[in-house]
Amino acid sequence: MTIHKEGRGLILATTTIAVVLNVIVASVPSYFSPGFYAVLSTSVLVLSIVVLILVLQFFRLPSIEVIKNESQVLAPADGKVVVIEETEEPELLKSKRKQVSIFMSPINVHVNRMPVAGTISYAKYHPGKYLVAWHPKSSTENERTTIAVKMKNGTEILFRQIAGALARRIKWYVKEGQPMEQGDEFGFIKFGSRVDIFLPLDARVTVKIGDVTKGGKTVIAEF
């Protein structure tokens, strides 16, 4: 278990603020009664520890073993399946696809991983709103990235990182023409968010609404 690079600055800032705050509280005991000061100092210390633990757990980066399989589609993120439906993909594919959406809560690992191997054929960032991630319009109106990968057999898979009400920063590490392996990290979304993946109509979805997924581990579809 390590800490993701996206969290290092925030963790440093949080630690610094916590230390400064506790030093300030420790320097003013004479201004309060002994009983009140004991409660105040203990409360500030406990709150500092809790906040730091929450930040650390959000940016945790567990090591995983990816079992690669060209006939399987792996979950791009940890979270819960909230949408499985047939829909039109209007931005790039412009055809009907099976959509699987995974919602990531603040307690999930927020690393995003490649669902299949192939070459990045499309990558575009879209500024937008910050509707709650499960809102039906979040896929088209929220801040998001659209990324597509073309597999060796010519099949193109498209997926979107979608910001939520809390997620205000999407990071992606791929560019068009870049080869990627199944399970490779392609991005990160800070705080609650969602990933949509658009599959060919002949793909067999192997998850159901409410299923919990692990990025790079859970098989969400098969060809």
Residues labelled catalytic: 193
Burial 204-222 (b: 16+ CB within 10 A, else e): eeebeeebebbbbebbbbe
Residues 200, 97: contact at Cβ < 8 Å? yes
Residues 158, 217: contact at Cβ < 8 Å? no
- CA atoms 140, 187, 15, 103: torsion sign: positive
